[in-house]
Chains A and B, each alone.
Chain A
């Protein structure tokens, strides 16, 4: 990806509810990978989910799933049954030339 855009600097959700974080990207490639990373207040960045562009099926990892719209260059993350431990900065990222291109991040707050 040449650019990755996250238009929601902050989001909040009630515990046990569902929240969707938005991400759009721009790329000239036809095959590529997209990622969502989570960075909790402890600061260790961890991979949440990965999507391969040539796969039609949206990736799912337990309560985390993506809505990948290739034509629209959109890659949103849905978190179901939100838990207090989901509170973190979430970064959308796409592959560039030997590196990841990150969005600006969305800070997610979980309200008990």
Chain B
């Protein structure tokens, strides 16, 4: 199984709502990532989890809150978002967080988020 799954596929939320994005992988990977991607742009890294611990936070606003309950699951909790946060949110995983071909990341299909 070389798949990263993400739910939901689409999400529309108001600026006062609280919602969560979910990402799951069953490849035994020990690094998981959240990216934000705007149209026609490369993915922008938000967070990295290594061995279920947060290792990188790319100065992301606190209205985005990541969580890694176990080695297969990654959540992104959303609260009080702004319209400019509307984007495609991608999850990825890789076998290990550092060195060599471990940087090969497997991406999920993404969640299309619209903030109204």
A binds B: yes
* Contact residues in A for B50 (Cβ distance below 8 Å): 98
- Among B31, B33, B104, B110, point to the contact of A44 (Cβ < 8 A): B110
Q: When the two chains form their complex, are residues B90 and A45 in contact, meaning their CB atoms are under 8 A apart? A: yes
Chain A positions 26 through 42: 1 when the CB is less than 8 Å from some CB of chain B, otherwise 0: 00000001010100001
B11 nearest CB across to chain A (Å): 15
* Contact residues in A for B41 (Cβ distance below 8 Å): 104-105
CB of A78 within 8 A of chain B? no
Beyond A43-B88, A99-B48, is A52–B55 a contact (Cβ under 8 Å)?
no
Q: When the two chains form their complex, are residues A102 and B40 in contact, meaning their CB atoms are under 8 A apart? A: no
Beyond A33-B101, A50-B104, A99-B48, is A43–B42 a contact (Cβ under 8 Å)?
no
* Contact residues in B for A103 (Cβ distance below 8 Å): 42
Which interface residue of A33, A50, A99, A100 has the most chain B CB atoms within 10 A? A99
Interface size on B, residues (CB 8 A): 26
Seen from chain B, the residues whose Cβ lies within 8 Å of a Cβ on chain A are 31, 33, 40-43, 45, 48, 50, 55-56, 88, 90, 92, 97-98, 100-101, 103-110
* Contact residues in B for A43 (Cβ distance below 8 Å): 88, 109-110
Instruction: Show 27 A/B contacts (Cβ-Cβ < 8 Å), sorted by A.
Output: A33-B100, A33-B101, A33-B103, A37-B107, A42-B109, A43-B109, A43-B110, A44-B107, A44-B110, A45-B43, A45-B107, A46-B107, A47-B104, A47-B105, A50-B101, A98-B48, A98-B50, A98-B55, A99-B33, A99-B45, A99-B56, A100-B45, A102-B43, A103-B42, A104-B41, A104-B42, A105-B41
Seen from chain A, the residues whose Cβ lies within 8 Å of a Cβ on chain B are 33, 35, 37, 42-47, 50, 52, 89, 91, 95, 98-100, 102-105, 107
